[in-house]
């Protein structure tokens, strides 16, 4: 009898986070991980545990979340996509699937011992960077069509002040001031590679890319930048926040509505079929909305 070989399956997942209590599984929780694992169980008739690249908060959306799981079962790519999506609600969908090639097969003993190796793909540990985008509508009157898809600030925001403040956050820093009190990360040190802010009419687009993020980090940063933008604080205030490591000194945690996980970057050796077409569409529609 031929012995079945374990395979590592990688999925690209897109979701509207407004209906869900975040990514991470909870007991009797209405989370995206719960829903996807339940869909996999129904499709494969066996329990499956998945690992994601970035655990999004409640209400946060994903243009392309990356997850992996291990199985001995064989399916075609289209069978995986249609089969899993058949058991998912319309707010969550598998947009692509990829099986790691034979040259990167692994030993389950290594995985159980949680040993990292460059020759084993891992949705979280193999990630080089993560990119989030915040879509912010700045106008005195809110628009119902933007509900749960865009953040909203009614008072005028100064773009240049916000750009100066955001620039202070680039680089490797201790982001304790911008982490949630419930954050489970072992270290508050993160490296922000890029942080740019664009404005198109009444529409702000904030793009932030880093090696990793702490719980609520992006939303806490946005909350502080808004205080700078509406003249309540000077841009240099951000430098003070980085030094004092006190969450209570920073701005409030801003709404999750406009936050999107846009991209997880990996080495090209994995040959993942990541969908740049979605990112281009997302960028164009946000720039040309007004």
Q: What CATH number is given to the structural domain containing 212?
A: 3.30.70.660
Q: Please give the radius of gyration of the chain, using alpha carbons only, rounded to the nearest integer.
A: 20
Q: 76, 108, 126 — which closes off a domain?
A: 126
Nearest Cα neighbor of 12 from 68, 65, 81, 70 is 65
- Residue 288 domain flag: no
Judge if 163 and 121 occupy the same domain: no
Judge if 166 and 114 occupy the same domain: no
Judge if 114 and 12 occupy the same domain: yes
Judge if 120 and 156 occupy the same domain: no
Judge if 138 and 73 occupy the same domain: no
Judge if 113 and 151 occupy the same domain: no
Binding-site residue ranges = 132
Range of the domain at 13: 7-126
- Residue 169 domain flag: yes
Provide φ and ψ at 59, rounded to 5°: 90, -10
- Residue 205 domain flag: yes
Judge if 69 and 143 occupy the same domain: no
Cβ-Cβ contacts under 8 Å for 62 (sequence gap 6 or more): 13, 14, 15, 17, 56, 260, 261
Distance of alpha carbon 121 from alpha carbon 8, whole angstroms: 8
- Residue 277: CB atoms within 10 A of its CB come to 8
What 3-state DSSP class applies to 257?
coil
Nearest Cα neighbor of 252 from 241, 260, 268 is 241
Which 8-state DSSP code applies to residue 56?
A: P
Under a CB-based contact definition with an 8 Å cutoff, are residues 224 and 250 in contact? yes
What does the angle CA 70 – CA 76 – CA 80 come to, to the nearest 5 degrees?
60
* pLDDT confidence of residue 1: 46
- Looking at residue 81, which CATH number applies to its domain? 3.30.70.580
The tokens describing 190, both together, are: 């993160």
Judge if 97 and 144 occupy the same domain: no
Judge if 139 and 223 occupy the same domain: yes
Nearest Cα neighbor of 263 from 220, 208, 197 is 208
* pLDDT confidence of residue 290: 53
- Residue 239 domain flag: yes
Binding-site residue ranges for substrate = 132
- Residue 280 domain flag: no
- Which residue's entry shows tokens 């998945």? 50
The tokens describing 237, both together, are: 């205030």
Q: 82, 97, 126 — which closes off a domain?
A: 126
Active site residues: 57
- Residue 118: CB atoms within 10 A of its CB come to 10
Question: H or E segment at 242?
Answer: helix 237-244
What does the angle CA 208 – CA 213 – CA 218 come to, to the nearest 5 degrees?
50
Judge if 117 and 143 occupy the same domain: no
Judge if 238 and 161 occupy the same domain: yes
Judge if 112 and 142 occupy the same domain: no
Domain count, the chain: 2
Query: What is the model's pTM?
Result: 0.90
- Residue 22 domain flag: yes
- Residue 279 domain flag: no
- Residue 69 domain flag: yes
Q: Can you give the pLDDT of all 290 residues of the chain as single tens digits?
A: 455 668 999 999 999 999 999 999 887 779 999 999 999 999 999 999 999 999 999 999 999 999 999 999 989 999 999 999 999 999 999 999 999 865 445 444 454 555 556 678 999 999 999 999 999 999 999 999 889 999 999 999 999 999 999 999 999 999 999 999 888 899 999 999 999 999 999 999 999 999 999 999 999 999 999 999 999 999 999 999 999 999 999 999 999 999 999 999 999 999 999 876 555 666 666 566 55
The tokens describing 47, both together, are: 């329990």
């Amino acid at each position: 009898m031929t012995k079945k070989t374990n395979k590592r399956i990688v999925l690209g997942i897109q979701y509207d986070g407004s209906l869900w209590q975040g990514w991470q599984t909870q007991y009797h929780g209405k989370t995206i991980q719960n829903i996807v694992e339940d869909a996999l169980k129904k499709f494969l008739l066996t329990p499956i545990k998945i690992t994601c690249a970035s655990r999004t908060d409640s209400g946060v959306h994903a243009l392309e979340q990356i997850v992996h799981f291990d199985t001995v079962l064989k399916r075609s790519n289209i069978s995986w996509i249609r089969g899993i999506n058949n058991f998912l609600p319309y707010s969550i969908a598998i947009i692509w699937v990829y099986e790691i090639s034979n040259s990167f097969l692994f030993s389950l003993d290594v995985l159980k011992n949680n040993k990292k190796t460059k020759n084993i793909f891992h949705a979280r540990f193999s990630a080089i960077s993560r990119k989030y985008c915040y879509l912010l509508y700045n106008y005195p009157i809110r628009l119902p069509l933007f509900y749960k898809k865009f953040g909203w600030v009614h008072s005028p925001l100064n773009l240049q002040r916000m750009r100066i403040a955001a620039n202070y956050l680039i680089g490797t820093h201790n982001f304790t001031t911008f982490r949630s009190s419930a954050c489970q990360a072992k270290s508050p040190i993160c490296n922000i590679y890029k942080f740019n802010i664009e404005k198109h009419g009444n529409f702000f687009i904030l793009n932030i890319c880093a090696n990793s993020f702490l719980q609520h980090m992006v939303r806490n940063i946005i909350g502080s930048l808004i205080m700078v933008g509406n003249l309540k604080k000077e841009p240099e205030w951000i430098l003070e926040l980085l030094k004092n490591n006190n969450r209570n000194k920073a701005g409030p945690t801003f709404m999750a509505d406009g936050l999107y996980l846009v991209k997880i970057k990996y080495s090209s050796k994995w040959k993942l079929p990541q969908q740049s077409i979605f990112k281009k569409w997302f960028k164009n529609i946000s720039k040309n909305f007004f």
